[in-house]
């Protein structure tokens, strides 16, 4: 398993500062928040971002996230897919192997919507394969479908493309209808990326992104998941991902050091 930190954990800092400070805090892999990348590239260009990663000695092991691909229609759909093409180009140019796509099908869904979702994922996987990128579908506990690990696995298997796998975000697993037995559905073939956080002491039904805290420090430690990752010999990235404004104010170097220590402890890895 490759420990990483999602740059969204330091959303209020510029990407350049995040990379410099994370490197100083012994972080060598990140899940790149695409909003961070857009801002940096808009000001400095793609070549400068490649150089910044190289100078920091940090590998971008995943990029998060692309939304709007599944059931959108009309002009919104065209815009999302145009943006998707740009994201694939960014991943290709930066050597990012995994692009997380959001399982953002909300509201009542009919047969036509489910058909569109399946066709969309098949098309997206084909385009990703052409770009040399693997997609990681992240189910959302608040979505209509898929909102749990079992359904997400079924969707990925239905598409049947090696360019499409799963992103398991522990928060969405813990607060949604997923079951412990669902973890047995994970395999090296279907798992593309993992995002970890714990949950503050609130009822799971009321938990929000702002209740995400460092893994192992809350009421839903990911011990069962980590055990399953060891069983399947998972060698991909495991990234701390916290959408918590209270933590965005922590200086990136300090956060990187604390988060990496917490993550390695959860993963059972000695400090490096």
Query: Quick count: other Cβ atoms within 10 Å of Cβ 272?
Result: 8
Per residue in 212-250, pLDDT tens? 999 999 898 999 999 999 999 999 999 999 998 988 989
Does residue 260 fall inside a structural domain?
A: yes
- Kindly state whether residue 249 falls inside one of the protein's structural domains: yes
**Mean pLDDT throughout 13-39?**
96
Q: Which of 61, 123, 127, 122 is nearest to 95 (CA)?
A: 61
Cα 258 to Cα 255: distance, rounded to the nearest angstrom: 5
The CATH number for 84's domain is: 3.20.20.150
> Are 259 and 30 in contact, with CB atoms under 8 Å apart?
no
Omega of the bond prior to 146 within 30 degrees of 0, cis? yes
> What pLDDT sits at residue 201?
87
pLDDT above 50: residue 132: yes
Task: Name residue, tokens 């702002």.
Answer: 210
- Tally of domains within the chain: 1
Banded model confidence at residue 184, pLDDT cuts 50, 70, 90: very high
pLDDT of residue 194: 98
Mean pLDDT of the chain: 94
Q: Is residue 25 part of a domain?
A: yes
pLDDT (tens digit, 9 = 90+) per residue, 91-105? 999 999 999 999 999
pLDDT at 272: 44
272 belongs to a structural domain = no
pLDDT tens for residues 157-175?
999 999 999 999 999 999 9
Per-residue confidence (pLDDT) for residue 43, from 0 to 100: 96
Q: Would residue 46 count as lying in a domain?
A: yes
For 258, counting Cβ atoms within 10 Å of its Cβ (0-12 exposed, 13-18 middle, 19+ buried), the class is middle
The model's pTM: 0.96
Note whether residue 89 is domain-resident. Answer: yes
Rounded to an integer, what distance in angstroms lies between the CA atom of residue 240 and that of residue 172?
14
> Has residue 271 got a pLDDT over 60?
no
Q: Convert the pLDDT of each residue in 13-22 to its tens digit.
A: 999 999 999 9
* Percent of the chain residues topping a pLDDT of 90: 85
- Please say if the pLDDT value at position 122 is more than 90: yes
Q: Is residue 131 part of a domain?
A: yes
CB atoms < 10 A from the CB of 228, how many?
A: 20
**Structure token pair of residue 247:** 């933590």
- For residue 59, the model assigns a pLDDT of 98
Range of the domain at 196: 2-267
pLDDT, tens digit, 9 for 90 and up, residues 136-159: 999 999 999 999 999 999 999 999
Residue 236 resides in a domain:
yes
């Amino acid at each position: 398993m490759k420990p990483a930190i999602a740059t969204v954990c330091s959303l209020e800092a510029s990407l350049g500062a995040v990379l410099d400070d994370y490197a100083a805090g012994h972080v060598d892999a990140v899940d790149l928040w695409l909003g961070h990348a857009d801002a940096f590239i808009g000001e400095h260009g793609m070549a400068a971002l490649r150089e910044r990663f190289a100078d920091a000695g940090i590998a971008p092991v995943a990029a998060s996230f692309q939304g709007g691909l599944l059931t959108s229609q009309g002009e919104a759909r065209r815009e999302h897919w145009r943006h998707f093409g740009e994201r694939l180009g960014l991943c290709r140019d930066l050597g990012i192997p995994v692009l997380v796509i959001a399982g953002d099908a909300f509201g009542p869904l009919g047969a036509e919507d489910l058909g569109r979702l399946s066709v969309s994922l098949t098309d997206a996987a084909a385009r990703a394969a052409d770009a040399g990128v693997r997609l990681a579908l992240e189910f959302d506990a608040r979505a209509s479908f898929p909102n749990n690990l079992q359904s997400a696995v079924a969707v990925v298997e239905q598409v049947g493309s090696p360019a499409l796998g799963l992103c398991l975000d522990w928060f969405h697993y813990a607060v949604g209808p997923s079951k412990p037995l669902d973890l047995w559905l994970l395999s090296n073939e279907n798992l593309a990326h993992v995002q970890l956080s714990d949950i503050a002491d609130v009822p799971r039904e009321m938990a929000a992104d702002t209740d995400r805290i460092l893994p192992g420090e809350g009421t839903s430690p990911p011990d069962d998941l980590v055990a399953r990752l060891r069983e399947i010999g998972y060698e991909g990235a495991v990234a701390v991902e916290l959408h918590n404004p209270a933590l965005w104010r922590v200086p990136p170097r300090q956060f990187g050091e604390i988060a990496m220590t917490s993550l390695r402890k959860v993963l059972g890895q000695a400090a490096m």
